C-alpha cells in the first residue's frame, strides 16, 4: 500500500511540496503507488499518514482553515505534520498575532515576519543538528522564528533571530522553504520519523 501524503491546498507552494515529497518517497524507496495530493476538505485527510502545511500568509491560511472547518481535523490528525513558514506559525502554541488561531501542536512561541518584510527575504546555508550531508541551503521568505520552545521540542537549527527548525513527536516545523530547492533531506527525515 502506498504512503498517502496530503498537502493543505488553501494557499502557498502546494505543487512544490507535492514534487518534493514525491522525490523524497522515491529516494526512500516508497515511490509509486504513493499518492501525494492536495487537501481542501476534512474528508481528504482520511487515510493520510502525513500532512504538509505550506507557507503563505499565516493570517489568511488561519482564516481559510476555520472557514473550511479544518481546524479540528488537523489538530486531531493522528499522522505527522510537515509545516513550513506560515505552517510553522500555525503549528505553534503561541503566536504574536491575535488574528492567527494556532493549532497548538508544537510547544513553541512564534513571531511572524521575524526578519522583516518581503524585501528582507534571503537565502542562507544553515547547520541542522543530527542531519548529515553538510549545511542545508535554506530559503527564508518573510519568515517566522520560534523565540522559545518547550522541553519536548527538538531544536534542529537556529539563526541569530531565533529557532528556525524543530521537531516534536511526529511533527516537523521549519521557518524556511525546503520545497523550493532540490535537497529532500528534511522531507526524508520526516518520513523516516514516521517509520517510512
Q: How far apart are CA 112 and CA 95, in angstroms?
A: 7
- Which of 48, 179, 187, 188 is catalytic? The answer is 179
Radius of gyration of the chain, Cα coordinates, nearest whole angstrom:
15
- Which of 22, 85, 167, 187 is catalytic? The answer is 85
**Looking at residue 158, what DSSP letter applies?**
E
Crossing angle of helices 14-27 and 185-193, in 10° steps, is 70
Query: Are 6 and 173 a contacting pair, CB within 8 Å?
Result: no
Active site residue 177: yes
Find cell 502545511 and name the residue: 53
Q: How far apart are CA 196 and CA 184, in angstroms?
A: 14
- Which of 17, 22, 48, 177 is catalytic? The answer is 177
Active site residue 17: no
Which residues partner with 174 through β-bridges?
Answer: 84, 165
Question: Which residues belong to the active site?
Answer: 85, 177, 179
Amino acid at each position: 500500500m502506498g504512503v498517502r501524503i496530503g498537502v493543505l491546498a488553501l494557499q502557498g507552494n502546494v505543487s512544490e511540496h507535492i514534487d518534493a515529497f514525491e522525490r523524497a518517497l522515491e529516494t526512500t524507496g516508497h515511490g509509486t503507488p504513493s499518492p501525494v495530493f492536495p487537501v481542501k476538505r476534512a474528508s481528504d485527510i482520511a487515510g493520510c499518514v502525513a500532512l504538509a502545511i505550506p507557507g503563505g500568509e499565516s493570517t489568511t491560511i488561519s482564516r481559510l482553515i476555520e472557514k473550511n472547518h479544518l481546524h479540528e481535523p488537523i489538530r486531531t490528525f493522528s499522522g505527522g505534520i510537515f509545516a513550513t513558514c506560515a505552517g510553522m506559525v500555525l503549528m505553534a502554541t503561541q503566536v504574536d498575532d491575535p488574528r492567527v488561531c494556532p493549532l497548538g501542536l508544537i510547544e513553541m512561541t512564534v513571531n511572524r515576519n521575524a526578519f522583516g518584510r518581503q524585501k528582507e527575504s534571503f537565502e542562507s546555508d544553515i547547520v541542522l543538528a543530527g542531519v548529515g550531508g553538510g549545511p542545508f541551503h535554506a530559503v527564508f521568505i518573510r519568515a517566522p522564528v520560534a523565540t522559545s520552545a518547550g522541553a519536548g521540542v527538538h531544536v534542529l537549527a537556529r539563526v541569530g533571530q531565533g529557532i528556525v527548525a524543530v521537531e516534536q513527536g511526529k511533527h516537523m516545523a521549519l521557518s524556511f522553504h525546503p520545497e523550493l530547492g532540490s535537497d529532500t533531506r528534511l522531507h526524508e527525515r520526516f518520513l523516516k520519523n514516521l517509520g517510512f
